[in-house]
């Protein structure tokens, strides 16, 4: 079995195979109509029970609008037009329930999508939801929630809610037949640090009947019912991993301080509400980057203001006043979101994306800004603008925010991602208009070296150790300090062990990292002495190549301690 490693690590546990029923689009005939009708009733009852639970939860969570949507789904189960039609298809055509559910849902969806009414168009996704819920419950026996035994889940793909359900038990690993590296499930697996492989074609059939599975997401192997020899290898690995984990345990609750007592914040980058518990569990001090693209990518139409308010408020509330930096929509021609109508471009990374797109699309941008502002009362919310390259762009975005904030008498900090060379070079001027900087090292690096990070032939040029990047970061930090604004790093470079002393030396205020790295980064910071790190930065600024930088950092490894 081949696949792509999405979250590295190893796991050995019982196999837990999820066979979901996909939409059944070809008729499957049956003699036993009565049995089908009773299956439908049972599934409908079970759906109703699940929805009631969800609705109660949402009402307590003040997700009124979402609750109303689910209530609508609940009512569909009792509806003559919807559920009644499904039953009639079974009766009249003598087909199995799955086909009837899919057939009528699809018909109804098309009817909704054909209407000239945006709100009703959006309801098509509710029909999809209820269809999937019915299909799932029609086959619930094969997919019962696991007990408390450790499991490795094998599935086609997992929805975020299914992931959360499973992670409440003892979830050790995930094997997916589909799922790209940026799928929602993979993002969650990364945040919860659960070894995961994706794109494992045929995994469900190949692992059928397996009692246990050894998932080696380091060398990329999946072994069905492994021998004791293989298990031995895993146990050795696990002992080492446990040791590391244990040594970092104390850093979950410690304050983040350098060796000479200077505070630095260790924040996390997140994408969804589900990650907040993991962030808190690992001692994250805030969210340095909340990506909002997923909200837009998972739907057939733009998320409504209410949906967004619910999403931002829930995270703000759960963070209990820890800072929450929300990045406004960062999309472009490389991310396919049909309803946004962004044309395909030859160079999407240099194209019509992020703030460039938002400034031209008030309906999308203002809705998001309004929703973010409405969530301010629930926590410590700040707004961050991505992909800024001119002062004018930033000012235009800030004006829009200010005028909306004024109507709510709100005072919200508006900062920017520093990720274009233009912003890095003009950092002195940007520092006068922005309330804070957050350096997006991933994009800044690829733009500085003009090297596509997804192009294998040139990706090697993108080195965080190259003085070109380090000088840019140093300059951004210097200018931020002059104006007295905070400067964070929210890119991958922020958690690279060897570079952390440089960030300390440059005076970075907060590092926003992936959730599993929080404790490790905090420990490294605690080993750094600010003065020595400053001296190290000065030396690095004199160097010419990435190899020289690496060599110096290796040589002086013990000196900044």
Partner 1 sequence: MVVKELQVMNELGFHARVACKIARSIGEFGSSVNLVKNGKKYDLKSVTGVMMSAAKNGEIVTVEIEGDDEESTAAALEKLFADKFGER
Q: Which residues bind partner 1 (CB under 8 A)?
A: 68-69, 71-72, 74-76, 79-82, 108, 111, 115, 117, 119-120, 123, 126
User: Whole-number minimum distance, CB 76 to partner 1, in Å?
Assistant: 6
Cα Rg of the chain, angstroms? 26
Whole-angstrom Cα distance, residue 67 to residue 345? 39
**Nearer to partner 1 by C-beta: 80 or 229?**
80
Is residue 184 part of the annotated active site? The answer reads yes
Q: Would you give the DSSP letter of residue 523?
A: H
Q: Which residues contact 51 (CB under 8 A, 6 or more apart)?
A: 70, 71, 73, 74, 77, 133
3-state secondary structure of 488: strand
Judge whether 138 and 97 are in contact, CB under 8 Å: yes
Q: Which of 24, 185, 358, 490 is catalytic?
A: 490
User: Whole-number minimum distance, CB 317 to partner 1, in Å?
Assistant: 23
User: Whole-number minimum distance, CB 48 to partner 1, in Å?
Assistant: 13
Both tokens assigned to 463? 């080195």
Judge whether 74 and 90 are in contact, CB under 8 Å: no
What is the full DSSP assignment across 83-146? IIHHHHHHHHHTB-HHHHHHHHHHHHHHHHHHSS-HHHHHTHHHHHHHHHHHHHHHTGGGGPPP
User: Whole-number minimum distance, CB 441 to partner 1, in Å?
Assistant: 43
User: Whole-number minimum distance, CB 486 to partner 1, in Å?
Assistant: 40
* φ/ψ (deg, to 5) at 74: -60, -45
Helix-strand-coil split of the chain, %, nearest 5: 55, 15, 30
Q: Would you give the DSSP letter of residue 492?
A: G
Whole-angstrom Cα distance, residue 360 to residue 366? 11
User: Whole-number minimum distance, CB 115 to partner 1, in Å?
Assistant: 7
Whole-angstrom Cα distance, residue 342 to residue 547? 41
User: Whole-number minimum distance, CB 79 to partner 1, in Å?
Assistant: 5
**Nearer to partner 1 by C-beta: 122 or 420?**
122
Whole-angstrom Cα distance, residue 535 to residue 411? 39
Whole-angstrom Cα distance, residue 136 to residue 129? 11
H or E stretch at 560:
none
Q: Which of 24, 47, 87, 184 is catalytic?
A: 184
Q: For residue 268, what are the β-bridge partners?
A: 287, 513
Kindly list the catalytic residues: 184, 490
């Amino acid at each position: 079995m081949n696949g792509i490693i999405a979250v590295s690590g190893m796991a050995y546990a019982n196999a837990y195979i999820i066979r979901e029923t996909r939409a059944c689009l070809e008729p499957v005939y049956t003699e036993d109509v009565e049995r089908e009708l009773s299956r439908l009733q049972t599934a409908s009852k079970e759906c109703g029970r699940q929805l009631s639970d969800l609705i109660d939860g949402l009402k307590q969570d003040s997700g009124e609008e979402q609750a109303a949507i689910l209530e609508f789904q609940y009512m569909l189960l009792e509806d003559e037009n919807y559920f009644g039609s499904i039953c009639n298809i079974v009766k009249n055509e003598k087909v199995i329930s799955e086909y009837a559910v899919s057939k009528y849902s699809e018909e109804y969806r098309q009817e909704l999508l054909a209407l000239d009414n945006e709100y009703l168009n959006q309801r098509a996704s509710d029909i999809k939801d209820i269809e999937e819920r019915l299909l799932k419950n029609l086959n619930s026996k094969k997919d019962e929630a696991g007990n408390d035994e450790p499991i490795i889940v094998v599935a086609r793909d997992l929805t975020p809610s299914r992931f959360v359900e499973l992670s409440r038990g003892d979830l050790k690993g995930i094997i997916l037949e589909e799922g790209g590296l940026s799928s929602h499930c993979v993002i969650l697996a990364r945040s919860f640090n659960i070894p995961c492989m994706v794109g494992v074609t045929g995994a469900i059939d190949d692992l059928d009947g397996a009692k246990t599975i050894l998932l080696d997401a380091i060398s990329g192997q999946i072994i069905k019912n492994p021998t004791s020899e293989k298990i031995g290898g895993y146990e050795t690995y696990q002992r080492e991993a446990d040791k590391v984990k244990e040594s970092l345990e104390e850093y979950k609750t410690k304050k983040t301080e350098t060796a000479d007592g200077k505070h630095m914040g260790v924040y996390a980058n997140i994408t969804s509400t589900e990650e907040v518990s993991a962030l808190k569990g690992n001692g994250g001090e805030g969210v340095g980057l909340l990506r909002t693209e997923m909200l837009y990518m998972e739907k057939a139409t733009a998320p409504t203001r209410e949906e967004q308010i619910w999403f931002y408020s829930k995270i703000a509330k759960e963070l209990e006043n820890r800072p929450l930096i929300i990045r406004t929509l960062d999309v472009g021609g490389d991310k396919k979101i049909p309803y946004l109508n962004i044309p395909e471009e030859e160079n999407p990374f240099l194209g019509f994306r992020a703030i460039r797109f938002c400034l031209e699309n008030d309906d999308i941008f203002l809705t998001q800004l309004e929703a973010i502002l409405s969530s301010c009362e629930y926590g410590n919310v700040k707004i961050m603008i991505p992909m800024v390259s001119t002062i004018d762009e930033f000012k235009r975005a800030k004006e829009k925010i200010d005028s909306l904030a004024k109507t709510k008498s709100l005072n919200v900090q508006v900062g920017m991602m520093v990720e274009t060379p233009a912003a890095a070079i003009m950092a002195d001027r940007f520092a006068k208009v922005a309330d804070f900087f957050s350096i997006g090292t991933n994009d800044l690096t690829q733009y500085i070296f003009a090297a596509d990070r997804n192009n294998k032939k040139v990706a090697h040029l993108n080195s965080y150790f190259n003085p070109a990047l380090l000088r840019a970061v140093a300059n951004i930090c210097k200018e931020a300090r002059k104006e007295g604004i905070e400067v964070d790093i929210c890119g991958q470079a922020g958690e690279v062990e060897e570079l952390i002393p440089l960030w300390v030396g440059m005076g970075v205020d907060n590092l926003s990292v992936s959730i599993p790295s929080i404790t490790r980064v905090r420990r490294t910071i605690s080993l750094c002495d600010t003065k020595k790190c400053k001296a190290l930065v000065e030396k690095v600024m004199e160097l010419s190549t990435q190899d020289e930088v690496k060599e110096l950092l290796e040589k002086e490894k013990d000196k900044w301690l």
